Amino acid sequence: MTLIGDSSKSGDAVVVSKKAAASAVARNRLRRVIRAALREGGGHIGAVVALVRPEAAAAPARALREEALRLLARVSEPPR
């Protein structure tokens, strides 16, 4: 999963291609889990785009949530 943050805009987008998850049910599950993590940890970041990779389809929801929160923390850090 990749997160791209831009503090000048608001909103979020979760992109799950058919390569990442073949069935619509699996794609929607991934979107729901990632969006929930974005709401939980990314309220102050601004615009976020999450690109979901194929290996995420087999991951449990807890692992996806933890990875999304880890990446959100990384995106929200000030630049070094």
pLDDT of residue 59 exceeding 60: yes
Q: Which domains does the chain have, with CATH numbers?
A: 2-76 (3.30.230.10)
Per residue in 11-56, pLDDT tens? Answer: 677 888 898 889 999 999 988 988 888 888 766 566 777 788 888 8
Q: How many CB atoms lie within 10 A of CB 49?
A: 14
50 forms bridges with which residues in the sheet?
3, 14
Which one, of 20, 56, 53, 13, lies nearest residue 35 by Cα? Answer: 13
Q: Are 33 and 58 in contact (CB under 8 A)?
A: no
Lowest mean pLDDT: which of 1-5, 15-19, 64-68? 1-5
* pTM recorded for the entire structure: 0.72
Strands (E), the chain: 2-6, 12-15, 47-51
